[in-house]
Structure 1
């Protein structure tokens, strides 16, 4: 039984039914997919008919934008609005195929952009707890060297795994800075500075690496089997260290990279330098960290700026 004919005006309902039959019989889509289209297009048809339109041929780009605007006012997420517009776009394409429309007015109307989720990071204290990995176990030394390097240099997981031992150049002086040549996205090379704890633990790992690495293995970080460590192994080991060290949030390589960016921006305020160190081609990618940093900056402002201090009441 087709419930749409009970609620949608006939001029809207007939082309819709032909479209649903087409989805099942010619496109071979499932009943579930058909039901999803039906839900979206019924809502749109009712909205248009209630606004005074009499058939699908009356719709133009302005009406399509109204469909999107109404969905936004109703509180739909950007992804749900995109789904609604995609359903309408597909249906109107079908109307062109069967000769009921000349052009698709929904083609030039885009859904609101999805809000990019802010990257998660650890605070400085949590990072300190995570990195207090001690002991002489070779795998523990390797893991701390990996974590110190990711947090100290803001490396991507793929970059860390891809490093060969010959790309590491450490100076001999205790206070001197070393560097690693990293191949990032787009096969672009950049130099990552290595100093402090990252340098110290990398030196410790390089000292014992020959006892684990297979003969001729070029990788800086190797597994117990002596071959280049895998992405999955790195993720698994870092998650395990988070639990072992008592850190409340889940630990991942991405979280260490995000923590590097956030903490560096908090302390320096130099967005351009953070962009270079992260290997971002466009500074707009790096600017997401300014959103993370805003709350911290607001707290500093409230405490330090003379015009931000609370005015005392005359009754005090």
Structure 2
């Protein structure tokens, strides 16, 4: 039996994930959210505070978050309380809320940023006509979590997407609601995404009296 010339073992190269934590990234808890907010406010980083807050509230994938345009989150002179975007991965629309505190941080950033409704909310540093790259977004998330003492191996951009969904699930146990909020096409994907297991199911059952 032969070996492929691309086989890392044959070339004495380590696998791409050697020594790395792979799999689902952990969601943030309330204390960690406020710690990151405090760090960004102390540093006066309006853009990063708005990006962090919107990432948590919107529950969007990184590719959809960075491509948000001003017109999608602004109506007239006000930040929308709800917005809707077309997901790049599924081609389906998903709606999300923008809560009062997040509207405030987003308003502060957009007031400083300027621009028109057709401009990106978070433009690229190199070309302001293009959105921030998902790679840059991932670097920022790594920076935020390490700033408060967390491991970037355990937290990433999907932590931002999972955080509020995980909180809602723990509070309600309503997987169907989470499926809608995350824009998943199948509820099985939501179950896997949240890491729902037998223990969760039994706890929910024990809380339900008939």
| TM-score w.r.t. length of structure 2 | 0.73
Q: Which residue of 1 aligns with 2:49?
A: 144
State the shift of 1:201 in Å.
1.1
1:130 counterpart = 2:36: yes
Q: Given the superposition, is the C-alpha separation of residues 263 and 127 from structure 1 closer, same or farther in structure 2, using an over 3 Å criterion?
A: same
State the shift of 1:171 in Å.
8.4
Q: Write out per-residue CA displacement over residues 71-105 of structure 1, whole angstroms, 9 at most, x where no aligned residue.
A: xxxxxxxxxxxxxxxxxxxxxxxxxxxxxxxxxxx
State the shift of 1:224 in Å.
3.4
Q: Is the 8 A contact 1:262 1:293 kept in 2?
A: no
Higher relative contact order (CA 8 A, sep 6+): 2
Report how many aligned residue pairs link the two structures.
190
Q: Which residue of 1 aligns with 2:196?
A: 291
Structure 1 or 2: larger helix share? 1
Q: Secondary structure at the match of 1:180?
A: strand
Q: Secondary structure at the match of 2:41?
A: coil
Q: Which residue of 1 aligns with 2:157?
A: 253
Residue among 127, 140, 144 paired with 1:237: 140
State the shift of 1:270 in Å.
1.8
Q: Is the 8 A contact 1:190 1:279 kept in 2?
A: yes
Hey, what's the Cα distance between the residues in 2 that align with 1:296 and 1:239? 32
Residue among 60, 69, 75 paired with 1:155: 60
1:192 counterpart = 2:96: yes
Q: Given the superposition, is the C-alpha separation of residues 248 and 290 from structure 1 closer, same or farther in structure 2, using an over 3 Å criterion?
A: closer
Q: Given the superposition, is the C-alpha separation of residues 141 and 293 from structure 1 closer, same or farther in structure 2, using an over 3 Å criterion?
A: farther
1:279 counterpart = 2:180: no
Hey, what's the Cα distance between the residues in 2 that align with 1:167 and 1:177? 8
Q: Which residue of 1 aligns with 2:120?
A: 219
State the shift of 1:126 in Å.
1.7
Larger Rg: 1
Q: Write out per-residue CA displacement over residues 41-97 of structure 1, whole angstroms, 9 at most, x where no aligned residue.
A: xxxxxxxxxxxxxxxxxxxxxxxxxxxxxxxxxxxxxxxxxxxxxxxxxxxxxxxxx
Hey, what's the Cα distance between the residues in 2 that align with 1:206 and 1:277? 25
Q: Which residue of 1 aligns with 2:19?
A: none
Hey, what's the Cα distance between the residues in 2 that align with 1:30 and 1:284? 35
The Cα RMSD (Å) is 3.7
Q: Which residue of 1 aligns with 2:169?
A: 265
Q: Which residue of 1 aligns with 2:17?
A: none
Q: Is the 8 A contact 2:59 2:162 kept in 1?
A: yes
Q: Segments of 4+ in structure 1 off by > 4 A?
A: 29-33, 116-119, 170-173, 292-299
State the shift of 1:240 in Å.
1.1
| TM-score w.r.t. length of structure 1 | 0.51
Q: Which runs of 5+ in 1 are unaligned?
A: 1-19, 24-28, 37-115, 307-316
Q: Write out per-residue CA displacement over residues 273-306 of structure 1, whole angstroms, 9 at most, x where no aligned residue.
A: 111110101111111226279469849x6xx899
Hey, what's the Cα distance between the residues in 2 that align with 1:286 and 1:271? 7
Q: Which residue of 1 aligns with 2:84?
A: 181
Hey, what's the Cα distance between the residues in 2 that align with 1:296 and 1:196? 33
